[in-house]
Amino acid sequence: MPSRSDVHYFGAGPAPLPTAVLERAAGALLNYKDMGIGICEISHRSPEANQVLADAKQSLTTLLDIPDDYEILFLQSGGSGEFSAVVYHMVALWVERRRLRAEEDLRTAIADGKTEGGLEANVLARLKKEVEEELKLDYLVTGSWSLKASQEAARLVGSKHVNVALDAREANGGKFGAIPPESDWRLTPRIREGGSGSALVYYCDNETVDGVEFPSFPQCLETLPEDAVDNDPPLVVADMSSNFISRKVDVKKYAVIFGGAQKNVGNTGITIVIVHKSLLPPAARLASPDLLRQLNLPVGPVTLDWPTIAKNNSLYNTLPIFDVWVAGQVMGDLVQTFGAKKIAGQEDVSIQKAKLLYDALERYPQVYRIVPAKTVRSRMNICFRVCGGDADKEKAFLAGAEKSGLLGLKGHRSVGGIRASNYNAVPLEGAQKLAEYLESFARAQ
C-alpha cells in the first residue's frame, strides 16, 4: 500500500490538500485546542467558531489585498449554488434601482399632471415594461462551467433575458479552447439614461474541463465608454473556483468574486464569496419578494441570500466550521510562507509548475497535443491528448502514470483525454515528476 509521500495527485477537484494542514486537521478532529472535543463537534455560534471565521477572513484579506469596502461570505451549496445566487441577487438589485428611478420620475410627472393614476400602479406598469424589454444578464461562455452558469440563469429568468455575449465555440470549430478577441464580444449596450444596460457581466476565470484561463482581466470591462452617463463600472461577476488564491487579483475591478473551496483553498463543503458592500444593505436595497413575484421573477432561498448571510456573519444556518478552519489553515500557511509577496509568491510557483509541464508537452508534438490555444492555456488545468486521442495510447499513458505514483490524470468525462490539475497543493516536486514521465512516455513511442 503506497504512503502519501509515494503519490502525487492531479485530480481536478476535490483536489489535494497540503499534508501539513491534514496532519493538523487530524488532531483538531479529535481534540480542538484542548477542549476535549473535536472541531466538528463545536457550536457554530461559539467563540471558537467565530475566531475560525475571523482568522480565515483575515488571511484571505491579506493574501488578496481585499479593500475594506468588500464583504467576505462563507456559504454552502458550492460554486453551482452561486450560479443561482448571483442571478437572484443581481436581478433584485437591478429591479430595485429601476424602481427607485421610476418612482422619482413618475412622482414628478403625476405632480405636474403629465401622468394619470396612482404612483404605485404606474411604477409597477413601467417596471413590467422595463423587465420585459431591457433586463439582460451578460455571460461570457468560454467553457463548460460558464455555459452551465448561463443555462441556470436562463432557467431562472428566461432565455430572452440572458445575453450570451461570447460563445467561444463559435470561433473554434464548435469546441471550447480559445477566447475570441474582445472586439467580437456582444455585450449589452449601456443605457445613457443612467444605470447599466445589463444586470451583470459574468465570466469564469478558469475553466477546469477545457483548460482555458483568462490571461488577465478583460480590458473592455475596465472602463466605461467616454459618452456614458453613469459613473458606475459594469457589474462584473467572476467564478474563480479553480484558480482562487493562485495569482494576483485586483479585487476592486469586480462586483463579486466567488469560488468553491475544493480546488485550491480547502475541502468540499464551502463556497467563498467576495462582494462589494455597495451591493448589500444598507448601501443598497433589493427588490422585495412581493415585487419580484409581481414581475414574474424568481425569489431565491434564504440560505443563498447574500444580505442575510452578511448580516449574520455567515452563520445564519449551521456553517461547517471544520471546512472553514481547513480553508483558513491553507490560506494562513500561504501568508506565512510568502510574507510580503503575498499571493504573488504562490503565483510564481504556479507559473513555474505550469511551464515545466507545457514545455515537456511541446517538446513532443508528435505525441502530445495541447487542447487550448497557447494564449489562454490554464496554469491550473493542463489538458492534452495523447497520440491524437488514440484510446489505447491514452489508456496506456494513464496506466503508466499510476504505476509511477501519478494519479488523477484522466480528463473530464465530457471531453476525455488527459488533464493534469496543477493546484496550489501540488508541490514543485510533483510537477517535476510528471514532466519526467511525459518525457519517458514520449520517448518510448
Contact 228, 192 (CB under 8 A): yes
pLDDT for residue 223 is more than 70: no
What CA–CA distances, in Å, run from 56 to 14, 63, 189? 20, 11, 39
Average pLDDT over residues 416-443: 97
Please give the Cα distance from 225 to 228 (Å, whole number).
5
- HSE-CB at 148 with a 13 A cutoff on CA atoms is 14
* Residues 123-147: tens digit of each pLDDT: 999 999 999 999 999 999 999 999 9
Strands 137-141 and 236-239: unpaired
The pLDDT value given to residue 94: 94
Per-residue pLDDT of 204-219, as tens digits, reads 999 999 999 999 999 9
Find the helix or strand (DSSP H, E) in which 386 lies.
strand 381-386
Identify which has the larger pLDDT, 117 or 406: 406
* Phi and psi at residue 15, to the nearest 5°: -110, 170
Checking if the pLDDT of 65 tops 70, the result is yes
Distances (CA, A) of 97 to 58, 127, 151, 274, 360: 32, 10, 25, 21, 53
pLDDT digits (tens, 9 = 90+) for 386-403: 999 999 999 999 999 999
- When the pLDDT of each residue in the chain is averaged and rounded to a whole number, the result is 94
The better pLDDT of the pair 156, 233 is held by: 156
- Whether 226 has a pLDDT exceeding 70, the answer reads no
Domains of the chain: 70-322 (3.40.640.10), 342-443 (3.90.1150.10)
Q: What is the mean pLDDT of residues 312-334?
A: 97
